[in-house]
Each structure stands twice: as structure tokens, then as C-alpha cells.
Structure 1
């Protein structure tokens, strides 16, 4: 199938690649077999097992795959067919894989001791995030205590402790787990030229996205790309090629569109990162991908035009669904946040030992924004989970609230939270790393 045909199939039918993930046990005596896999799938509380089939591969010469199964499950009223493989743990090289979250040395050591791992291969359903969550649940239902999880699509290693906590949760993980943004640069004629591009969106029924020939504002544009990719994961928010879409507002709309790399790359030097020299048919960069461009008065220009705008903290548009997911996760794990606060908060601590606790609170407003979400510094949490906090931002639409105001707020207003430790940033997603 040509790239032209692939673009058409992606747009009209949501053509996607299968998602491939693997899980490593955390005990050296873990043995994969038909009985264990089937029993663990049947007793899970996450999904309904409809069909279990062992695939006979005795006639093949494959020395890597030791066992193969095919299952069908129902999850959130949707059916999925999933292929499971027991794979030689030494068959892959993970040296180019990044860490998707905080992984302990112990988790890595335990993974290295395994002889086999379990791989799950499946096509995502109507909702990519729910499908990803299901894939984690299937793996964790079979390997109840993972050491690490490998996500082959964005080339990531994930903490087994995180995977277990996430699989058991009713709230899916952040959309950012579905992809990575790779940044590549080269120095040409004394000037650094950057290329930002994603991995992982093909399994969501979208083209991959990228920014080309970036010379300034790389941090700001990486943030903008994150916002766009998060939206493109959901089919309902995905913009067709050459169609304008807004990601935020700072008095004026922050507007982008995407064009096929084949239509854009010819406008740049052939030797830049992501240029024509990197787009040969034998290279993965030849596959369907959309180059993001800023749109000003109907004219496409470099995204660099928004560098100063993004640096000034504009309002970014986040879908109601993502806001609800973030709020549900923050609320679900608030008790963990409170435990850490009670243990580590010390307003008298010196800077190098100071733990800073923040919450984001949602305020009802009387226009299209519905809620305005504002960050606060937390100075106390009462026994009734009321939060004593100081407003950190200048509100746009909340009457009577100003930056620097102190107030007492109920837990129900929380839509997100953060902990800044002396060495790390802790969120509701990675708080597993500092709790027992």
C-alpha cells in the first residue's frame, strides 16, 4: 500500500497498527504455561474472557516465541481479540528504549533475571486510552506482580509497580503514555536545527506528528506538540489534514494545521534532521506523518511564531474528558497525597530540603470555560480533607479571587495536584514511587 493510500485509509477508516506491549515477572521461579495464563485471565475483575485458544507453533522454527495464545475479551461493552506470546527474554535489545516513568534499580534487576516475558498484541478499539488501559490490565492479570512493562510502540520501559497500580485503577493513565516525542538536532552552518516527532500515534488511528526546521523556542514548541498530540489521540478531536484547529488562547487563537511530510519537506534543505535525506523508502521516517505548521491569517508559517506566546502561559484547551480523567485520578489518590504532605511538609525547611505541595482547584464560572482551573500552594490539610492554600495564578474569570489570596477549600474542588520534592516532581500518576 502506498503512502497516499495509507493517508486515505487513516483518515477515512482510522487505519492503525497493532499495539505491542510486554510484561516481565518479578520472581525468578515464575513459569508461563497454559493453565496459569487461562486461570489468571478467568479470575480477573477487569474484563470478561469470552474465548481462550492455544496456538500450536510446534511446526515452526521460531526460537523466540515459546508459546502462543489467542483470546477474546469484552471490556467497557467492546470486544477485543488479543494475541499473547511467551517470548525469550533475551531476544530484544532495549538499549534505545527510554524510561516512561520512575523505575527502581530493583525492578530492572528482577527483569534481567527472567528467562521469558509475556507479550500482548492487539488493535485498539473506539477509545485509544481505554484500549491501552485494557492492554495493561490483561498483562497484569496474568503477571500479577510485574517487574517492568515494555511498550514497543513508543520505545518505553515502564515501572511494574506503576503498571500494577494503574491496572487496578478504574481511571486510565494519562494520554502521554500512548506516545513519545523524540527530539533530534544537528548543527548546520553554525546553527542548531531541531526536529520533533512522535512515536505511538499510529496505533491510535492517527498519523504521527512532527515539527520541522525548528531553530528557536524548542521547549515551548515541545509543550505545544504535547498539547496537540494529546488531542489527536481522541478521534473526535483529531483534525484532518490542511484544516485549521486551535489549541489555546492568549487574546488571539493559537492556530495550527498539519500537512503531509511529502508536501512540506521539499521546502527545506535536504540535509536537515527530518529532511529529504532522512525520508528514504527503507527508513521508518518515510511512513505517513503530519508536519505541524502555525496558521496566521490563513497563511501557514513556522510554529516558531508562537514561541513567545506559549512562554507567556496562555490558556490551553483541554477536553472535558481529559479534565474529568485528571480530576478523578487526583481525587482517587488524594489520600496518598495527604500522607506524603503530613510526613514531609515543613514550612521551616531550608530550600534544599523543602517539599512544596500544590493543588489545582476548579472554580465555576459563568461563560464557555465552565470551570477555571487555578493552582494553589498548600499549607495545611485538615482532618476533614479541607485544604488551606494560597492562590498562585491571576484568575481570568473568578470574581473576588486574586493572586496571593489564602482560603480554605473542600477536597471536591481538586482537579489536579503536584509535589515538588528536593529531587523530583511527584504527580498522581507517579506517587507510587514514594509510598509503601
Structure 2
């Protein structure tokens, strides 16, 4: 097995080389390279310059010039796979159904490869935009860099046409592996990402060697750590990081290379027992043969031995780490922290789509199956705001009023259950609960037109 010490050191220092971002647009017809070039001619009208710097019978390398930015793409065409193969891939959302794959029998895969330079989400959006302009007839997109995740046509159209930035979780997929008991009830879990290496950070893992009461908080834990790593451009390891707040106080996590972290699963490990990554090689550590869990070496093929960190919960009073989510531990009422960039991005998307929210509110506000919540940032000291949820009472062009649904952590002159006038400029998020459906700015496309 390859020793990856230098890779982890680079990830800690923010110098980890980004992997390629590979995506495949699947279209319903067969095309040649000459027809692909014709499609590129259309894209050339939308950028400052498009250069074809290499070409053969099935491949092209092109450069897109926009202002001072040059984006290279490697393109390759091939016949589409059997529809049954696509049906086995992980699907990003419920808009992708089996019939979406039926039209690929005589189709083409247009493979695209690029390297993210600069802001990761901007680059991800630009690759989606390039695919949309190159293949407006696409049926779906395969995100090869995220373990062949299927991205829906409606997702791409919604984000590109509305110029909405994707979320960082859109960069990756979380694979979950679990072991059942005789009653088919999961008894232990291994969650791990694919897709983050193209962002210049490691993948992320969580091993839970016991039953859990719910999945609450797991996705948020991954998202919070990934957001901080991607936006800061480095992966903190062997040090406590604040990720959430509860009524009991702050919640910290410690990330450890998986090679070392496997030996910490299922028991408490003092922080002073964590070996230095800067001074020592990152190698597999001895593991008690009696301590069995998912995600160990016997479960890892070469694909699952890439650079990745295991997340542990840090006990601040006794300074030890242990696995997250104990069997009888209720992980509820957690407020996960968000970076300023994430809050700004969410606010931008929430404001750009608030018209949809307002329209649905005015149509369904008397419908008991609907609930309309919006999050607003309220300042409590210079440069700091607490972001809180309000249930909407009234929305007009100049006026928003809502009832605070949680007791604030930091703001003493506001109370749960009271009604407040709210400033649209402070809007950061919204959500509509419609029966069993949960509608947000990032999944609104799934409900438009229903």
C-alpha cells in the first residue's frame, strides 16, 4: 500500500494538487468529432475566444478564453453504454427515473475533463455551463469524479439558466455502507465521500461502530467540514475544530488520516497519543483483532485507499477523541456553523429565488399542509450575526413579518414565539414544508412545473 504522508502534509498546508474534474454528458444521438466541432462553434459565440489546440478522430482539446481567464477542456466522444448500466449509478435526486436512461441506446457520451483553477464552485459551475452549452440536448450527466453520480438535466438547466452557484455538497457524493442484523436493522456504518480531491482537499469519512437513533446531523457534519476545508483551501488534521453548537455548548471535531484513524475507532483516544503528521510517516497502525467495524482494511480496495480523513468527536473537558453518534445519544437541536462565504452564497441563492417562495406563500398560506420558514441574520455584535428561522406571517413588496421559532443563543432581546419585522437584505435561506416534501433554493428545480 502506498504511503501518502506527503499528500496529507500538502493537504494540511493548502498545497495539495487538485485532481481532474471529469464529467460525461449523455445525449440521445450518435455524433462525430466534426459534429462536436460544430457544437463548439456555437459556444465560441458566447466567449471571447475558443481555440482547438488538438484533435483526432474521437478527441479534442480546447481552450475557452473569457477576459483574462483561460479554461482548458479535454473532450472525447464514445458510444453510450447500455441503459441498464446507467440505472445502477447513484442518482443525485428523485427527478432521475429509469425512463431517463431508455433513450441512450443509440446515444453518445461526451466526456469532458478540466482542472479547477481558482474558486472551486465557480469552476464547477463553469464546467456544468460548458456542458449545457455544448449539449443542450443532454439527457443527464455522469459526474465521474464523484463515483459516477448521475446529475439530472433539470438540475443543470435550473442552475445555469438562473445563474445560481451550486452548493459544496454538489461536488461530492456520500456513500453509505452498513451491516445488518438478523432483522435487517443496521448495526454499524461507514460513510465516505467521493469527489473532493478535485477541490484540492482530501475525501472525508465517518465510521460509526454502533447502532444510531437517526441519521440526523450526519450530512451536516460532512457539509460543515467540507465547506471549511474547501473554502480555506486546506484540511486541518490532529486539531480540534468547532463545527456546531448545541444547548450543551460547542461541538468540536478532529480529523485524522484514515490510515491512523482506524486504530482509534470504538474507544477513547487521548489527544497526546495522536502522532505528528509533520514529523512522522502516516502508516497503518495496529488494530485490536477483537475490534471489528466497517471501513477497515478488509473493506478497502485501491479506490478506497486514496487520501481521506476520518472525523472524530472531541471531548473538550478531558481532551480525548471518540467516534461520533453513540447508540443512545440524541443528536438533535444542533446549529452547524457556516463560513461567511457559504452564508453569502446561500443568501444570494435565497434572494434570487425568493420570488418563487413568495408566490407559493400567497397561494398556499392557508393550506395546513404547507409551512413557510425563512432564515434571517440578526446582528448581535460588530461583524457577527446569529442566523435564525422565522415562520412567515406576511410577505409584501416592502414588508416581511415572521414568528421566531427557536430561542436565540446570543441575542437576549429576542424570544421564541414573538413576531418580528424582518429585513429582506438579511435573508440567508428559506424552506417550504409541503406535506412530505421539503423545498429549498437548491432543490426548487425538482418541484417547478409539478
TM range (shorter): 0.7 to 0.9
Note the alpha carbon deviations across 1:138-192, whole angstroms, 9 max, x for none: 1011123533222122232122122012123443111110112222112479981
Quick check: 199-208 or 289-298, which moved more?
Answer: 289-298
Would you say the 8 A contact 1:358–1:378 is kept in 2?
yes
Of 137-146 and 7-16, more deviation after overlay is shown by 7-16
Displacement of 1:298 in angstroms is 3.2
For residues 219 and 168 of structure 1, the distance between their equivalents in structure 2, rounded to whole angstroms, comes to 33
**Unpaired runs of at least 5, structure 1:** 58-66
Distance in 2 between residues matched to 1:332 and 1:221, nearest whole Å? 27
| 2:364 is the alignment partner of 1:344 | yes
Query: May I ask how many residue pairs the two structures share in their alignment?
Result: 413
**Of the candidates 409, 413, 429, which is equivalent to residue 416 of structure 1?**
429
1:331 is matched with 351
Corresponding residue of 2:296: 275
User: Which of 345, 349, 374 pairs up with 1:359?
Assistant: 374
Q: Secondary structure at the match of 2:237?
A: coil
Q: From 168, 180, 201, give the equivalent of 1:206.
A: 201
Give the TM-score, by structure 2 length: 0.82
Structure 1 residues 336 and 82, CA gap change in structure 2 (3 angstroms): same
What secondary structure does 1:241 align onto? coil
Displacement of 1:137 in angstroms is 1.0
TM-fit CA distance, 1:309: 7.4
Within the alignment, does 1:249 sit opposite 2:245 as a pair?
yes
Instruction: Please tell me whether the aligned partners of residues 36 and 142 of structure 1 are also in contact (alpha carbons under 8 angstroms).
Output: no
Cα distance change of structure 1 residues 202 and 91 upon mapping to structure 2, 3 Å threshold: farther
1:285 to 292, 304, 307: 304
* Distance (whole Å) between structure 1 residues aligned to residue 102 and residue 180 of structure 2: 40
- In structure 2, the partner of 1:312 is 333
How well do the aligned residues superpose, as a CA RMSD in angstroms? 3.0
Q: Does 1:103 align with 2:124?
A: no
**What CA deviation, in whole Å up to 9, does each residue of 1:64-96 have, x standing for no partner?**
xxx311122346854332112222112682233
- CA spacing shift, 1:78–1:258, aligned 2, 3 Å: farther
| Unaligned residue ranges in structure 2 (runs of 5+) | 263-285
Distance 1:172 1:239 in 2: 23
Q: How does 1:154-173 map to 2 (within 5 A)?
A: 154=146, 155-173=148-166
- Kindly indicate whether structure 1 or structure 2 has the higher relative contact order, using CA contacts under 8 Å at least 6 residues apart: 2
> Is 2:115 the partner of 1:123?
yes
Per the alignment, do residues 366 and 76 of structure 1 end up closer, same or farther by CA in structure 2, a change over 3 Å counting? farther
User: Is contact 1:146–1:161 with CA below 8 Å preserved after alignment?
Assistant: no
| CA shift for structure 1 position 242 | 1.6
